[in-house]
Chain A
Amino acid sequence: MANRVCIIGGGVAGMQVALVLNTLGISSLLVEKSATLGGRVPLLSKTFPFFNDDGFNDGKEFTDALERDLRSAPLSEVRLNTMVTDVEGDFPNFTIRLSDGSSVQAGSIVVATGFTPFDPTSLKEYGYGDYANVITATELEWMLNPRGPTGGKLLRRSDGKPAQKLAIVFCVGSRNRRIGAPFCSRICCSYSTKQASTVMERSPHTLVVCFYMDVRTYDRGFEEMYSLAQERGVKYIRGRVSRCKQLPDGSILVRAENTLLSRPFSGEFDLVSLSTGMRPCEHADELSRLLGIARGPDGFFLCREWFRHPHDATRDGVFLAGCATGMKPIRNCMIDGAAVAARVAAVLRDTASLPFPRNRVTTNLVQPIPQTFSISSERNMYDSSSFPKGETHGHHNS
């Protein structure tokens, strides 16, 4: 039996798995496809809800600390610029082939591949990609980061002038059945509030308006972050933005309804930031096939049991940590990492006693979500020889 654990993905969750495994005396190989560790966290100008959580002033300080710990952990090995190309065998003897040509033996595999932010180019009503001053939350974050391209200053992308009026649009790419994303991405309300609050703190005369449908700042400390943002002067308007159009001077006209006052809202902004929802990691499809594990209708990996085995993937010996199962804040990724490490340790210690639930896949997310229809341009849907019934479940490539 191979005692080692292969961790796919070097974000904060993957690093935490390796660190905790190390404390439990288990060796691991962490495989990361890019040249750096930390995932998307190093981009962050601030973490939330406390803005200098644990004394780290930005995302990179935190991931640097994790990386230092990891490098000094004797039982963990890290390989950067490396991807998994094939997986053979079964628990507890997986043979994993890597893109550097080598192959390794592992007793278990942990998938900690994270997420991808939704690309709003396809949602033409927001004008992303057409108008310079419409940006994504990721781009805003990097702009606010002193390490970033503007040294932390909020500037209009069209002409480099300071942006005095910022609109933040919630729920872009989420909570939208029409585009096949009926789910909520959970942390966008919170990270948007963090961004808005940061802007107001730095320049109190900026107009920052958040256009929301709900404010889901749900976790410990988040509601307090929300009130602080409001006290700093961030405006919240309850209404889904229907359209952003560019005016002759490059400013963006934003339209929504202020639903609490039942009044139309129309305003010009220097910058519009789209708080995009989350999608599964780029190679989720491939990984799912390589590893033989199932994904839910939202595209994120499925667990075996919702309550008792939330980190078991649908194949013996494969586990899931971090945003690979859905968006969550950094803290929860860290908690996940520790929980998975404990689970893996238990499983490796006692492989003979069938530690995996049999014939169980969480059915919670697998129920088809009623939808209107799926388009098939290949065949004639209206073949008169068989009158079609309403379809409830269609599949297209994600």
Chain B
Amino acid sequence: MKTKQSTKAGAPASFVSNNGDDLKSVSSQTLVDAYEKLRDQSEPSNGSRTYPKLCVLHGTAFEREKDRREVREWASRCPAEMQKWYEEARHQSCLWWLKNHLVAKRALSSCIACGVCTSQCPAAQYYGEYNPRAIVDAVLSEDEDQLVALLKSDLLWYCGQCGSCKPMCPRENNLMGLISSLRFLAQLKGYHLYSVRGRQQYAMRHLCGGNLWNRACTLYFRNPVAANHPDFGPRYAQYHSQAECQMVRVGASPDRPGQFGGRKLPPETLTEFRSCVAGGGTLALWNQLEKSASEDAEKKGLSIDEYHDRVNHEG
């Protein structure tokens, strides 16, 4: 068993309160082991409704650093076919992507610029400068510079993926899928760093990606704390403060084995799930996001955690 070398990080149990910089010197294996140990709490034996001392791991710098390392190692240990594909794809042109990415290649056939998509796009109504036709135009122009400019702009990130455009298009274009595909490309190439809304993807990676990697679920019931959701009002704050009891009450299983959302998964399930995620090449994206975030953070003179917080609040 390795002894930790750091002078900054405390005992493993206190990793939770450390930030990314403190943990840099701790070995990956120690991080992962500590995390796993802290994660698996046994069920309350006294029959009370709540776990009295459940360790808060989600949303911490500790979890992020652990994820960073674990994902990097997993990716290099057994790189999946699709992972390699994505790693190579980022060196190709945008035009290449449009012709080869599974979603992009079938998304667009032709456009008559009739405007039916824009006329009822909620994002076009809210963001005055946004127009989905502009995205179609850039793609159909087949002009690499124009595409790069699009990928670097905020315009790419306004779409809410509602799909209101999809049943309307007389040429049966899939604008929703096209935008999703382009967003993926923007992150692979690091173009997302050029726009405020693009940089937010780093926060998305850890919010959703962290939940996926550690809990096989995109949203975790402990995530939306009232402080982060002042728009939800005091009733929500009250509910969330007792979320666990309320969930048990209606028959859900928060952090317990059982059915439905919030449940704890057996380790075998999580491993299978991680393998599926890795098998599809997502780790290439996550590694790339980490790399570009750390470069951007350094450029701006911020620690990685400060950077993470900043992109979560900018805009």
- B171: which A residues are within 8 A, CB to CB? 177
Which of A125, A214, A257, A370 is close to B115, meaning CB atoms less than 8 Å apart? A257
Smallest beta-carbon distance A177→chain B, Å: 5
Q: Please determine whether B133 and A259 come into contact, CB atoms closer than 8 angstroms.
A: yes
Q: Please determine whether A239 and B172 come into contact, CB atoms closer than 8 angstroms.
A: no
Contact with B along A308-342 (1 / 0, CB 8 A): 00000000000000000000000000000000000
Which of A175, A178, A259 is close to B167, meaning CB atoms less than 8 Å apart? A178
- A257: which B residues are within 8 A, CB to CB? 115-116, 118-119, 124, 133
Q: Please determine whether B115 and A259 come into contact, CB atoms closer than 8 angstroms.
A: yes
Number of residues of chain A lying within 8 A (CB) of chain B: 25
Is B13 engaged at the interface, CB distance under 8 Å to the other chain? Answer: no
Is A240 engaged at the interface, CB distance under 8 Å to the other chain? Answer: yes
Q: Please determine whether B119 and A256 come into contact, CB atoms closer than 8 angstroms.
A: yes
Q: Given contacts A243-B120, A264-B124, A264-B125, are A256 and B170 in contact (CB under 8 A)?
A: no
Is B169 engaged at the interface, CB distance under 8 Å to the other chain? Answer: yes
- B115: which A residues are within 8 A, CB to CB? 238-240, 256-259
Q: Please determine whether A178 and B169 come into contact, CB atoms closer than 8 angstroms.
A: yes
Contact with B along A225-240 (1 / 0, CB 8 A): 0000000000000111
Is A262 engaged at the interface, CB distance under 8 Å to the other chain? Answer: yes
- B112: which A residues are within 8 A, CB to CB? 175, 213-214
Smallest beta-carbon distance A130→chain B, Å: 18
Q: Please determine whether A242 and B120 come into contact, CB atoms closer than 8 angstroms.
A: yes
- B170: which A residues are within 8 A, CB to CB? 171, 175-178, 240
- What is the bound-complex CA distance between A230 and B124, given in angstroms? 30
Is B114 engaged at the interface, CB distance under 8 Å to the other chain? Answer: yes
Residues 110-155 (chain B) with a chain A CB within 8 angstroms = 112-116, 118-120, 124-125, 131, 133
Q: Please determine whether A242 and B168 come into contact, CB atoms closer than 8 angstroms.
A: yes
Q: Please determine whether A259 and B168 come into contact, CB atoms closer than 8 angstroms.
A: no
Is A265 engaged at the interface, CB distance under 8 Å to the other chain? Answer: yes
Q: Given contacts A178-B169, A178-B170, A264-B125, are A239 and B131 in contact (CB under 8 A)?
A: no
- A214: which B residues are within 8 A, CB to CB? 112
Contact with A along B24-47 (1 / 0, CB 8 A): 000000000000000000000000
Contact with B along A151-189 (1 / 0, CB 8 A): 000000000000000000001000111100000000000
Q: Given contacts A259-B133, A264-B125, are A240 and B119 in contact (CB under 8 A)?
A: yes
Chain A residues with a Cβ under 8 A of chain B = 125, 171, 175-178, 213-214, 238-243, 255-259, 262, 264-265, 370-372
Q: A239-B119, A255-B119 are in contact. List 7 more A-B contacts (CB 8 A).
A: A213-B114, A240-B170, A242-B120, A243-B120, A264-B119, A264-B124, A264-B125
* Closest A-B pairs by Cβ, 6 of them: A257-B115, A240-B114, A259-B115, A257-B119, A240-B116, A239-B115
Q: 29 A-B Cβ contacts within 8 A?
A: A125-B168, A175-B170, A176-B170, A177-B170, A177-B171, A177-B172, A178-B172, A213-B114, A239-B119, A240-B114, A240-B115, A240-B119, A241-B119, A243-B120, A255-B119, A255-B120, A256-B115, A256-B116, A256-B119, A257-B116, A257-B119, A257-B124, A258-B115, A259-B133, A262-B118, A264-B118, A264-B119, A265-B119, A371-B172
